[in-house]
Amino acid sequence: MNIMVNRQTLQIIISGYITEIVCGQIPVECKDSFTKHLLQNRIEDEIPEWLLRRNPNHVSPDHIKRVWYFDNRVMQRIMQGCGRDWKSYRNINDFCHLTGFGSGKEGIGLFEIGVSIDKKPVVEFVPFEPPPETGDRLKKMEDIELTWLEPEPLPSPDKGYIVVSAGSWEKGIIRFSTEIREGFDEVRLELLVSDLTDIGVGEDHFVSGLRYAGEMLEGEIVKQGDKDMYQVSWYSPQKTRWLEMCETDPSDLTL
């Protein structure tokens, strides 16, 4: 006897800031060469005079980004000079390479989640208090269960290496789809969240994925805007904090 099961297509669409984070290690010599290049080729017109007087070794964050993210010729020369290949910043990912949605440091909320069944809208979760007249059509993001993953730990580099963190964010949309046999139940929806502050990123509510009814959903990027790049930073064991790539201290680099 064949029993017909009414299958429906559940789509969950997140619209917000798609974030990509990479964290890896580079040799100390590469860090030294990179910093030397920055100081020798900085554009002083980008730096206020008062800042140069206060910190003669300051380099514009935009200049650091231009070199690290976009000047492959210079980066190849620097990395090959100390025996390491360079393809792109994404390859410096010894410790993690994450894609998800950024929320900043104000909790969950820099995005919206739309839910539909068979392409018919069901509900939308928003990062603000929905007006009363919207009824059940809009709900607060806080109504979704958060499942906290283990935070990314502070990396431990190999001897003679330092840890570097970089990445990008852009406005975009990711679509998640699955089949269900009954209506949407918000209790079954989970946001997988982790704290990335230990790897040099200002994200303590980073959404790395979704689960529905215990099933991990695969996401598909359907729209992307122009990228903005995170400031490149490195971790100083001596100062026990993340620093800009133009900052250096001989005691930090004798590992």
Structure tokens at 134: 């919207």
Cα–Cα distance, 65 to 68 (Å, whole number) = 5
Q: Residue 44 to residues 11, 35, 135: CA-CA distances in angstroms?
A: 50, 15, 56
In a domain, 222, yes or no: yes
> Does the pLDDT at position 108 exceed 80?
no
Q: Dump pLDDT digits (tens) for 208-235.
A: 999 999 999 999 999 999 999 999 999 9
In a domain, 2, yes or no: no
In a domain, 133, yes or no: yes
In a domain, 106, yes or no: yes
Cα–Cα distance, 99 to 167 (Å, whole number) = 10
In a domain, 204, yes or no: yes
- Torsion sign across C-alpha atoms 81, 85, 91, 92: negative
Q: Is 105 left (phi over 0), alpha (psi -120 to 50) or beta?
A: alpha
Cα angle 236, 199, 62 (rounded to 5 degrees) comes to 75
The CB-side HSE value for 158 (13 A sphere, CA atoms) comes to: 7
In a domain, 30, yes or no: yes
The whole domain housing 109 covers 8-253
In a domain, 160, yes or no: yes
Using the structure block, give the residue that is written with the tokens 């993210």. Answer: 69
As for how many domains the chain has, the answer is: 1
Q: Dump pLDDT digits (tens) for 186-196.
A: 999 999 999 99
Say if CB 62 and CB 207 are below 8 A apart.
Answer: no
| Amino acid 43: pLDDT | 83
> Does the pLDDT at position 75 exceed 90?
yes
Q: Which of 35-49, 114-128, 239-253 has the highest mean pLDDT?
A: 114-128
Name the pLDDT band for 105 (thresholds 50, 70, 90).
low
Q: Residue 41 to residues 36, 56, 84, 147: CA-CA distances in angstroms?
A: 9, 14, 22, 46
| Amino acid 53: pLDDT | 87
In a domain, 1, yes or no: no
Q: Dump pLDDT digits (tens) for 53-69.
A: 888 888 989 999 999 99
Cα–Cα distance, 211 to 10 (Å, whole number) = 12
